[in-house]
Amino acid sequence: MRVEPMHRIVGHMAVPGDKSISHRAVLLGALCDGETRVTGFGRSADTEATIEAVRALGITVYEYDDETLHVFGKGLRGLGAPAKPIDCRNAGTLVRLLAGMLAGQEGQRFTLTGDASLSARPMGRVTEPLRLMGAAVESEDGHLPLVIEGRPLHAVTYELPVASAQVKSAILLAGLSADGETTVVEPVPTRDHTELMLAAAGATIVRRQTSVSVRPAARLALGEIEIPGDFSSAAPFIVAATLVPGSELHIHGVNLNPRRTGLLGILARMGANVTVYNRRQIAGEPAGDLEVRSADLVATAVTGAEVPSAIDELPLFVLAASCAHGDSVLRGAGELRAKESDRIEATADALRALGQHVRAVDDGFRIRGVPARPHGGRIASRGDHRIAMLGAIAALASRRGVEIEDAECVAVSFPGFFELLDSLRREAAE
Ligand code: S3P
C-alpha cells in the first residue's frame, strides 16, 4: 500500500469505539446476568475474536449492526467449555483477560490459542499470579497454548512485576470468584477500564493510590454501555495534523481517560497545539472533542512513569520527536518489545528507512530531531497494526510518500483507517 504526502489536514472526523473497552464490554457482558446492550462497539479483527470467544463459551451475541451488540450473559459461573480450543488470534487483551475469567469456572477445561504473533508473546505474567490463586493453568514454557482447568480460587495480594493493565485485569476477573478480597498493587498506574466497568456492573471495587481490590461478587449487571472513541485510534491523526503544516483537524467523541492520554501531555510539552472541548462523560469515562492545529515541536525526555499511559502511542511519539527541534530520549519502555511486534526495533527500523535519525536502545530510543519533512521510502509493518499506521502518518508528513508492506494489518484495531485517510484527503482538496 502506498500513502502519498498531504499538504494540510483539515475537517471533522470521529474514530471507532475504544478497543480496550469494547473487549471488556463483551467479556463482562458474558459474566453478567441477562442482557447487556453495547453501542459504539469498536469493531475490528481483535474485538471480533472476542465475540467469537464468548460465543464458543455458550454466550449468545446479537449483532444488530457493526456498532450495536446485545450480549446475553449467563452469570459469573455460567460459561461452558467448548470442545475445540478458543482461538484468540492476535488479541493480547482477549487471551489475558479470558485466562482470568476462566480460571475459576470449576470443573471445566479450556484451551486458549492464538496466531504466530500472540504465540510469541509472554503469558507467564498471567499464569504466575493465577497459579498463586490456586488456578490450574498450563502453558508451553510461558507461551500459548494455555490449558486452564477451572478450580476454586483463593484471594491474593499481588504486586505486578510489570505495569500491565491486561495482567491486572486478569487477576481482578479471577478475583470475582475467589474466597476473599483480591488486591493488585501497581508499580505505575495503568488503564483502569476493567475496574471502572466492574464497579458499574455492581462489583465491589476498592481503589487506593497504588492498588485496586475486588471482592467476590454474587451477580453482575451492566445494562447499557456506550463506548467512546478510541484515543489510540485518534492518536495517529493527532500526530499527523501536528506535523503537516496548515492543518486544523477536529476529532469528536474521544475517550480521554487520563490513564490513556499520556501522549497529550508529552505533545503539550513539545509545543503541540491540541485543545480539548465539549468535555463530557461517556460510559463513566472522561471524553471530549479535540482540535489539533499544526505546530513546531521541540525535543523532550520521556521516562518510565509516563510509559503506561502512552504505551500504544509511543511509536508515534518517536516519529514526532524525529521531526522536532533538538534531541529526544525515551527510556523505561522495554514493554514495547513484548507487543504485537518488537516495537522498539520495528519503530526504529521503519523510521530510519524513511530518513529519520532514530536509535533503538534496550528500553527505548534516542532520537535526533530534524525539523523538516521526513524523506519517505518503504517500511515493513511486521504485521503490526500500530507500525502500519505509524508508516501511514509518516507518509502524510513526508516529502515523497511511503510504501507500507502488509498494510492490511491495520484491521486488527482500525479496519476503516485507510478509508478515513482518503476522506481527509478529499476534504483537503475541496
Ligand atoms: C491493553 C493494555 C496494554 C495495551 C494493549 C491493550 C488493555 O497492554 O498495550 O494494547 O486493553 O488492557 P499491557 O497491559 O500488556 O501493557
Please, what's the b/e burial string for 14-53 (b: 16 or more CB within 10 A of its CB; e: otherwise)?
Answer: bbbbbbbbbbbbbbbbbbbbebbbbbbbbbbbbbbbbbbb
Q: Which atom of ligand 1 is nearest to the CA of 169?
A: 12
Is the pLDDT confidence value at 429 over 90? Answer: no
**Given this model, what pLDDT does residue 58 score?**
98
- pLDDT, tens digit, 9 for 90 and up, residues 255-312: 999 999 999 999 999 999 999 999 999 989 999 999 999 999 999 999 999 999 999 9
Mean pLDDT of the chain: 98
Is the pLDDT confidence value at 399 over 90? Answer: yes
Active site residue ranges: 312
Mutate to test the pocket of ligand 1, among 18, 93, 259 (most ligand atoms within 8 A of CB): 93
Contact by Cβ (8 Å): 358, 349: no
49 and 190 housed in the same domain: yes
Q: Would you say 92 is a known binding-site residue?
A: yes
- Residue of the nearest CA to atom 4 in ligand 1? 312
Kindly report the CA angle at 206 between 200 and 210, in degrees rounded to 5?
Answer: 120
283 and 425 housed in the same domain: yes
Mean pLDDT of 212-223: 97
Q: Would you say 105 is a known binding-site residue?
A: no
Q: How far is the CA of 429 from the centre of ligand 1 (A)?
A: 37
66 and 146 housed in the same domain: yes
Q: What 3-state DSSP class applies to 353?
A: helix
**Given this model, what pLDDT does residue 393 score?**
98
190 and 266 housed in the same domain: no
CA distances in angstroms from 381 to 44, 238, 282, 402, listed in the order given: 18, 20, 33, 12
246 and 100 housed in the same domain: no
20 CB near ligand 1 (under 6 Å): yes
Count of the separate structural domains present in the chain: 2
**Given this model, what pLDDT does residue 102 score?**
98
Q: How far is the CA of 390 from the centre of ligand 1 (A)?
A: 18
137 and 234 housed in the same domain: no
Mean pLDDT of 153-171: 98
Mutate to test the pocket of ligand 1, among 47, 166, 190, 309 (most ligand atoms within 8 A of CB): 166
Q: Residue 285 sits in which domain range? A: 2-16+228-429
123 and 39 housed in the same domain: yes
311 CB near ligand 1 (under 6 Å): yes
R_g over Cα of the chain: 21
Which of these three, 171, 198, 226, is where a domain ends?
Answer: 226
- Count CB-CB contacts under 10 A for residue 419: 9
- Residue of the nearest CA to atom 5 in ligand 1? 93
Contact by Cβ (8 Å): 354, 374: yes
Mean pLDDT of 247-257: 98
CA distances in angstroms from 169 to 27, 118, 282, 285, 311, listed in the order given: 11, 18, 21, 17, 17
In whole angstroms, give the CA distance from residue 131 to residue 126.
9
Contact by Cβ (8 Å): 166, 192: no
168 CB near ligand 1 (under 6 Å): no
21 CB near ligand 1 (under 6 Å): no
208 CB contacts (<8 Å, ≥6 apart)? none
Is the pLDDT confidence value at 63 over 90? Answer: yes
Is the pLDDT confidence value at 396 over 90? Answer: yes
In whole angstroms, give the CA distance from residue 21 to residue 231.
11
Q: Would you say 219 is a known binding-site residue?
A: no
CA distances in angstroms from 391 to 5, 182, 236, 364, 401, listed in the order given: 11, 42, 10, 19, 9
177 and 242 housed in the same domain: no
Q: How far is the CA of 137 from the centre of ligand 1 (A)?
A: 21
Provide φ and ψ at 395, rounded to 5°.
-60, -45
Please, what's the b/e burial string for 81-90 (b: 16 or more CB within 10 A of its CB; e: otherwise)?
Answer: beeebbbbbb
Q: Which atom of ligand 1 is nearest to the CA of 168?
A: 14
Alpha helices in 136-255 (DSSP H): 165-175, 193-200, 231-243
11 and 30 housed in the same domain: no
- Side chain identity, residue 413: S
25 CB near ligand 1 (under 6 Å): no
Q: How far is the CA of 309 from the centre of ligand 1 (A)?
A: 10
- Side chain identity, residue 385: H
**Given this model, what pLDDT does residue 314 score?**
98
167 and 278 housed in the same domain: no
Mean pLDDT of 5-21: 97
Mutate to test the pocket of ligand 1, among 311, 313, 385 (most ligand atoms within 8 A of CB): 311
Q: Measured in whole angstroms, how far is the alpha carbon of residue 392 from the centre of its chain? A: 19
Which of these three, 226, 243, 260, is where a domain ends?
Answer: 226
Q: Which residue has the cell 486488527?
A: 412
Q: What 3-state DSSP class applies to 119?
A: helix
Which of these three, 226, 257, 292, is where a domain ends?
Answer: 226
In whole angstroms, give the CA distance from residue 424 to residue 428.
6
CATH classification of the domain holding 345: 3.65.10.10
End-to-end CA distance of the chain: 24
Grid cell for residue 66: 457493526
DSSP assigned state of 298 = B
Q: Measured in whole angstroms, how far is the alpha carbon of residue 414 from the centre of its chain? A: 11
153 and 239 housed in the same domain: no
**Given this model, what pLDDT does residue 82 score?**
97
Is the pLDDT confidence value at 430 over 90? Answer: no
97 and 219 housed in the same domain: yes
